[in-house]
């Protein structure tokens, strides 16, 4: 037996960012929510099922659901890894349901003492959709409407909720409302508003809410759409699109910047009202529509500028009269992968045809079998009951897993990262939504040793050199783009450098690090962090026989 001693250098970086450390995923502690018109129900409150599901993390969690219009609240108390379901009363439905264009207080404010994931469903017999609810910490000021062509007897719609007083809302640059905290502006128009640019002077929550649509437009079987959409600063350039077990879904890709070029493998461009038939030179707000197929193992998308993607279930006639109906889900880019999340399927309480619930898990192919799930707090086990589909182009795979326990939480984990969607189907009834992903600001960010700046809490590096890397979108080549500051002193060697490194000697170091970015439009953005760097030697015993 030999005993060998070596020297291990460990750097412990504890980051306290100006952004919340829990702000970079779909879980959080503070949420705003509203509901839109469901065509079939209109004002038939007794048969309309509006439901909220809250899934806790590893801690016992307490919180409240506050109804702004009523000035009332409901407290909740959830054990670790449990699910809380709240079905709105008739009075509460009336207080959160938008069906007339204008400003109101038809909002819900949800808070919790520990991070939770929140979902909502708008369900009426044969007309259903659901959405995840983004935490306030990831909301921003710029969005694009992504919806679908409404039927000829309703209008397209969206809703904006203010998180601060004196919030000004602009539609394609025109001021349309000024809101106070918790106020909702519900906007309708008689044609598809996909590509409309919605901006505000303070962060807002934005919901696409179509009362009824055929998908595709020349198909039969219409349904409502409900999806909270992500702000433009979280849009990415690489996407892997999974496909439901229905064999054929539809997607829309929306450009956020002029002269956007897209490549895709696995999809087929389709003509739709207002869509483009070319993937090149898209202008901001323009969109392309594609069919994606299960037998192609999904679709891989790349763009040279950030784009937003929504994926849709279609009417059952478009899927050879299988069980489905139109439904819409936000699809994050591959850059928004996470390593774990907690979800739960829905249990509608009204008359429903929903009979099956599924999770779609997307992850790198090489580590797909590392994906594990715990149901109701049980031991982590490999995925079961479904099928892996491998996409060689994307080097990604997806798995369609039935969710058969409607009362339990499902905890998924894979250190290599994944994104998870959920959907449910029945005869003439479906829902589809993003269930779990990161919500990182991809317009400007920095990394230390390839770890995102808001994910560095209690991260340990076994190297005394810390490599800093910037990722910034929308910079003008002639602008003074990036500046790096340590304790308010600029490191001139880092001026306009996207990558550089710093070496820390033995000892303890405390520094404020700021990355200041100036964009082409004159906007200045600062990302700040406090680094506590501890460098020390540790002996490692290596025993060999």
Contact between 117 and 55 (Cβ < 8 Å): yes
Q: Which residues contact 525 (CB under 8 A, 6 or more apart)?
A: 443, 444, 516, 517, 519
Handedness of CA 382, 387, 390, 394 (dihedral sign): negative
Token pair belonging to 239: 């996407």
State yes or no: pLDDT of 520 exceeds 90.
Answer: no
Q: What pTM, to 2 d.p., does this model score?
A: 0.84
Under 8 Å CB-to-CB from 379, ≥6 apart: which residues? none
pLDDT level of residue 201 (50, 70, 90 thresholds): very high
Asked whether the CA dihedral 403, 404, 408, 411 is positive or negative, the reply is negative
The residue count for the chain: 545
CA distances (Å), 260 to each of 133, 283, 521, in order? 29, 6, 18
Segment 496-518 shows an average pLDDT of 75
The whole-angstrom separation of Cα 306 and Cα 255 is 7
Q: What is the pLDDT of residue 477?
A: 52
- What is the average per-residue pLDDT within 81-101? 94
What is the C-alpha to C-alpha distance for residues 236 and 509, in angstroms, rounded to an integer? Answer: 34
Token pair for 81:
């890894």
Q: Residue 152 pLDDT more than 90?
A: no
Asked if residue 354 lies in contact with residue 424, where contact means CB atoms within 8 angstroms, the answer is yes
CA–CA gap between residue 132 and residue 109 (Å, rounded): 14
Residue 406's pLDDT is 84
Confidence of residue 215 (pLDDT cuts 50, 70, 90): very high
Helix (H) / strand (E) containing 90: helix 90-96
Confidence class of residue 116 from pLDDT cuts 50, 70 and 90? very high
> For residue 93, what is the enclosing H or E element?
helix 90-96
Give me the residue spans of the domains in the chain: 2-19+444-544, 28-436
> Per residue in 307-321, pLDDT tens?
999 999 999 888 876
pLDDT one-digit tens code per residue, 329-384: 999 999 899 999 999 888 888 788 888 999 999 999 999 999 999 998 899 999 99
What is the rounded radius of gyration, in angstroms, for the C-alpha atoms of the chain?
A: 24
Q: Mean per-residue pLDDT for 410-434?
A: 94
pLDDT of residue 330: 98
For the ranges 122-131, 410-419, 502-511, which has the lowest average pLDDT?
502-511
Distance in angstroms (rounded) separating the CA atoms of residues 156 and 236: 26
Parallel, antiparallel or unpaired: strands 72-78 and 61-67: antiparallel
Report how far residue 292's alpha carbon sits from residue 251's, in angstroms, rounded to the nearest whole number.
7
When pLDDT is averaged across residues 491-502 and rounded to a whole number, the result is 80
Picking from 527, 513, 460, 509, the residue whose alpha carbon sits closest to that of residue 485 is: 513
Percent of the chain with pLDDT over 70: 86
Residue 49 C-alpha from the chain's centroid: 24
Most confident of 162-166, 445-449, 529-533: 162-166
* Average pLDDT of the chain, as a whole number: 86
Is the confidence at residue 451, as pLDDT, over 80?
A: no
Give the tokens for residue 281. 């030179």
């Amino acid at each position: 037996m030999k005993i060998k001693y070596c020297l291990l250098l460990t750097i412990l970086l504890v980051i306290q960012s100006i952004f919340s450390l829990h702000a970079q995923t779909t879980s959080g502690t503070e949420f705003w929510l509203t509901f839109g018109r469901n065509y079939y129900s209109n004002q038939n409150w007794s048969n309309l099922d509006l439901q909220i599901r809250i899934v806790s993390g590893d801690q016992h969690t307490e919180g409240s659901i506050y109804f702004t219009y009523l000035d009332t609240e409901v407290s909740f108390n959830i054990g670790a890894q449990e699910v809380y379901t709240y079905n709105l009363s008739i009075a509460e439905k009336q207080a959160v349901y938008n069906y007339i264009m204008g400003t109101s207080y038809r909002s819900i404010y949800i808070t919790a003492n520990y991070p939770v994931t929140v979902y909502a469903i708008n369900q009426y017999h044969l007309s259903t959709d659901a959405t995840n609810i983004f935490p306030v910490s990831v909301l921003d000021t710029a969005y694009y409407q992504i919806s679908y062509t409404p039927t000829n007897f309703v209008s397209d719609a969206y809703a904006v909720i203010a998180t601060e007083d004196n919030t000004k809302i602009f539609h394609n640059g025109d001021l349309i409302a000024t809101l106070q905290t918790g106020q909702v502006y519900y906007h309708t128009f008689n044609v598809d508003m996909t590509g409309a640019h919605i901006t505000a002077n303070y962060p807002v929550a934005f919901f696409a809410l179509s009362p009824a649509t055929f998908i595709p437009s020349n198909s039969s079987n219409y349904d409502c759409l409900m999806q909270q959409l992500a702000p433009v600063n979280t849009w990415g350039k690489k996407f892997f699109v999974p496909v439901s077990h229905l064999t054929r879904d539809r997607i829309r890709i929306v450009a956020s910047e002029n002269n956007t070029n897209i490549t895709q493998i696995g999809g087929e461009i389709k003509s739709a009202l207002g869509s483009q038939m070319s993937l090149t030179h898209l202008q901001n707000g323009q969109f392309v529509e594609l069919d994606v197929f299960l037998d192609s193992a999904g679709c891989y998308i790349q763009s040279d500028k950030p784009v937003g993607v929504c994926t849709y279930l279609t009417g059952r006639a478009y899927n050879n009269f299988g069980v489905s109906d139109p439904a819409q889900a936000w699809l994050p880019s591959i850059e928004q992968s996470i390593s774990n999340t907690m979800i739960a399927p829905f249990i509608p309480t009204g008359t429903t045809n929903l009979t099956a619930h599924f999770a779609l898990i997307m992850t790198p192919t090489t580590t797909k079998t590392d994906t594990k799930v715990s149901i109701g707090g049980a031991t982590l086990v490999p995925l079961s009951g479904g099928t892996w589909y491998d996409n060689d182009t994307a080097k990604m795979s997806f798995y369609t897993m039935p969710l058969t326990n409607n009362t339990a939480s499902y905890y998924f984990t894979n250190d290599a990262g994944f994104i998870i969607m959920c959907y449910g189907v029945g005869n003439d009834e479906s829902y589809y939504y993003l269930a779990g992903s990161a919500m990182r600001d991809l317009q400007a960010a920095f990394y230390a040793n390839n770890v995102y700046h808001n994910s560095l809490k209690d991260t340990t590096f076994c190297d005394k050199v810390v490599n800093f890397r910037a990722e910034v979108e929308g910079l003008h080549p002639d602008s003074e783009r990036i500046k790096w500051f340590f304790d308010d002193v600029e490191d001139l060697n880092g001026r306009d450098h996207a990558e550089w490194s710093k070496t820390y000697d033995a000892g303890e170091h405390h520094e404020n690090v700021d990355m200041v970015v100036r964009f082409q439009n004159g906007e200045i953005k600062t990302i700040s962090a406090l680094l506590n760097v501890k460098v020390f030697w540790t002996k490692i015993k290596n025993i060999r026989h």
